[in-house]
Structure 1
Amino acid sequence: MNIKIITVGKLKEQYLKDGIAEYTKRLSRFAKVHLIEVPDERTPEKASEAENTQIMAKEGQRIQEKIGARDYVIVLAIEGKQLPSEVFAEKMNQITVDGYSDVTFIIGGSLGLSPEVKHRANFKMSFGLLTLPHQLMRLVLIEQIYRAFMIQQGSPYHK
């Protein structure tokens, strides 16, 4: 399986880079992981709704250029479905049973994701109603992907 995690903006904090590197290494026995950062747009402090829409559209275009035609796409969006870890593990397994070998996760920028990116998604997923920094969300996501594989293996990691 190939897993792509497409994110908007650069990861800055070293502790997050270290955590993501650790889980990427752990995941390597289950899948090839590709971490893809697309540039974010500068958002003026008091941007209008039209400016925000334009910014999301530009970021969305960059994201869509990185999605393969045959990718199963999961976007992280607040309106998405919340899943317990065990159900997420089942979902990941079902994706492969359905014949997908490329799974792409997308984390938007500070304004969220463009409607076009959300429309391309096969599944919208939410980690809850809490607001988390997008950079921290990368670490949370990759840990949950690793946890899903460990649950599938029957590993005690999940306990």
Structure 2
Amino acid sequence: MNIKIICVGKLKEKYWKQGIAEYSKRLGKFCKFEIVEVPDEKAPEKLSEAQMENVKKTEGERILGKIKDRDYVYALAILGKERTSEEFASEIENLTTYGRSDLAFVIGGSLGLSEDVLKRADSQISFGRFTMPHQLMRLVLTEQIYRAFMINSGSPYHK
């Protein structure tokens, strides 16, 4: 199984990198795991609606360039479907059972995801209606992917 997180922007803080590195290492026994960063589009603080759409479109094109045809794509979106950890684990297990072993999770930039990326997504997933720093979301998502594998393997980690 191949899992990648495609995200906008670079991870700078050492503590985020350390947490993600730990879960990435743990995931190594279950799948090939990678994080793919695409550059964020520089934008001034105050943007018009059209400028915001242009930023999302540019970042979206960069994201779409990293998605393969065979990838099953999850877009992280506030309005996406919320799942429990158990539901998420079951979904991943079902995808692999039916031959979908290449999963891509997409985390957009500070303005969110373009319509083109949302249309390409096979599913939208939400971690609630809170706004979180994108760096934190990477860590949370990586941990939840690891948790899904632990649930599916019957490990007590989840308890």
Q: Does TM-score exceed 0.5, indicating one fold?
A: yes
1:33 and 2:33 matched: yes
- Structure 2 residue ranges without an equivalent (≥5): none
CA distance in 2, matches of 1:124, 1:97: 20
Paired position in structure 1 for 2:77? 77
| SS of the residue 2:23 aligns to | helix
What TM-score do the two structures reach when normalised by structure 2? 0.99
CA distance in 2, matches of 1:65, 1:86: 31
CA distance in 2, matches of 1:74, 1:97: 17
CA shift for structure 1 position 131? 0.8
Paired position in structure 2 for 1:49? 49
CA distance in 2, matches of 1:76, 1:102: 17
CA distance in 2, matches of 1:6, 1:133: 15
Deviations 1:78-123 (A, max 9, x none): 0100000000000110111121121000000000000000000000
What TM-score do the two structures reach when normalised by structure 1? 0.99
Trace 1:17-28 onto structure 2 (pairs within 5 A): 17-28=17-28
Letter in 2 for 1:95: L
Trace 1:5-154 onto structure 2 (pairs within 5 A): 5-154=5-154
Q: How many residues align?
A: 159
| SS of the residue 2:77 aligns to | strand
CA distance in 2, matches of 1:52, 1:65: 20
CA shift for structure 1 position 34? 1.3
| SS of the residue 1:25 aligns to | helix
4+ residue segments displaced more than 6 Å: none
CA distance in 1, matches of 2:76, 2:32: 20
Identity of aligned residues (%): 62
Letter in 1 for 2:69: A
Deviations 1:53-74 (A, max 9, x none): 0000000000000000010000
CA shift for structure 1 position 43? 1.6
- Structure 1 residue ranges without an equivalent (≥5): none
Give the alignment's Cα RMSD to 1 decimal: 0.5
Letter in 2 for 1:86: E
